[in-house]
Amino acid sequence: MARNKSDGGSLTPLIRKILQTLVDDAGREGLALTPERVEKSLRFLTSGYQTDVRKVVNDALYSVKYDEMVIVRDIEFFSLCEHHLLPFFGKIHVAYLPRNRVIGLSKIPRIVDVFARRLQIQERLTQEIAHSIQDMIKPIGVGVICEARHLCMMMRGVEKQHSGAVTSAMLGAFRTRKETRDEFLSLVAHKPNGA
């Protein structure tokens, strides 16, 4: 029977049962409280399902006449791969060309967190961030680049320790104007002095 995700059911007994299946002594000192800790961890790492991105942004949307690119880059994130429940992590770069409104700069990393704290694949994460910004401020265009390393590739499967994946979502002018896209890519690649 499917469990309603909003019914507040405890994961602890299920996690305890998994441990009893995997290890010879699931009750030993080091594992005794593991089911509770894992549940708390999983609740936090999937808290994006209970978070409304519009409430996170709140009223940090401002009318302003500004027609140059806005970029917030190197936003660190951690997420869980929906295929193996193993972490993937990296950096996300977000840019947009305002039409009549801008979004508070600190809200962009918060938007990233809302979508990263869900069971994800990198491609969807990248698109959800772009579409969320597009829907909220209706800019001329939005560009999102996600660079990530996946533990499901590093710890199991192909076991490639140094491989990474890059995904992008380009909307509006970032898709239709090569010079806009090239400017974004150039500014993301440029490292400031001392970086």
Quick check: is 36 catalytic?
no
Quick check: is 147 catalytic?
no
Quick check: is 131 catalytic?
no
The single residue of 50, 76, 83, 123 carrying the catalytic annotation is: 83
Tell me how far CA of residue 121 lies from CA of 2, 15, 44, 109, 189, in angstroms. 23, 23, 18, 18, 24
Quick check: is 82 catalytic?
yes
The single residue of 36, 39, 147, 152 carrying the catalytic annotation is: 152
The single residue of 84, 131, 134, 147 carrying the catalytic annotation is: 84
Quick check: is 159 catalytic?
no
Quick check: is 190 catalytic?
no
69: left (phi over 0), alpha (psi -120 to 50) or beta: beta
The single residue of 93, 128, 150, 183 carrying the catalytic annotation is: 150
Angle between helices 34-45 and 12-22 (to 10 degrees): 120
The single residue of 120, 122, 127, 183 carrying the catalytic annotation is: 122
Q: Which of 168, 132, 150 is nearest to 57 (CA)?
A: 132
CB 154 within 8 A of CB 87: no
Q: Which of 72, 63, 59, 71 is nearest to 138 (CA)?
A: 63
The single residue of 50, 76, 82, 123 carrying the catalytic annotation is: 82
Quick check: is 152 catalytic?
yes
CA dist 101 and 108 (Å) reads 14
Sign of the Cα pseudo-torsion (135, 136, 142, 147, in order): negative
The single residue of 81, 93, 146, 183 carrying the catalytic annotation is: 81
Phi then psi dihedrals of residue 20, to 5 deg: -65, -30
List, by residue number, the catalytic residues. Answer: 81-84, 122, 150, 152
